[in-house]
Amino acid sequence: MISHYNKIITMMKNTVSNMPTSMMCPCGGGQSCIVDRRFVGDYVHEDEVFTNNGLPLRKNCFNKFYKCQEKALENFM
Ligand SMILES: [Zn+2]
């Protein structure tokens, strides 16, 4: 019974393959794609750094970093 329930939950979870085309990242997606990772609920390092610094997040991988975003990432490392 419980394993059946887990199976349904897994099926309902977002996967990259059910992402609407309109949401897809211009980079084409992949393991390190921030759009893909957000969609499936994976941890996105730069999002955490920017949020902690009160900075805007990038919309997709092809967005250029703002100077202040670059700084925040540098400071973190
Ligand atoms: Zn991407």
Mean predicted confidence (pLDDT) in 60-67:
96
Gap from CA of 48 to ligand 1 centroid (Å) = 17
Task: Domain ranges for the chain, please list them.
Answer: 2-76
Say which residues have a Cβ less than 8 Å from residue 72's Cβ, sequence separation at least 6.
49, 50, 53, 55
Gap from CA of 70 to ligand 1 centroid (Å) = 18
Gap from CA of 59 to ligand 1 centroid (Å) = 9
Chain segment 51-62, per-residue pLDDT in tens: 999 999 999 999
Per-residue pLDDT for 37 more than 80?
A: yes
Predicted local distance difference test score (pLDDT) of residue 18: 86
> Residue 19 — left, alpha, or beta (φ > 0 → left; ψ -120 to 50 → alpha)?
beta
Give the C-alpha separation, 2 to 16, whole Å: 26
Q: What percent of the chain has pLDDT over 90?
A: 73
Alpha helices in the chain (DSSP H): 2-12, 34-40, 45-52, 67-76
Reported pTM:
0.79
Predicted local distance difference test score (pLDDT) of residue 34: 97
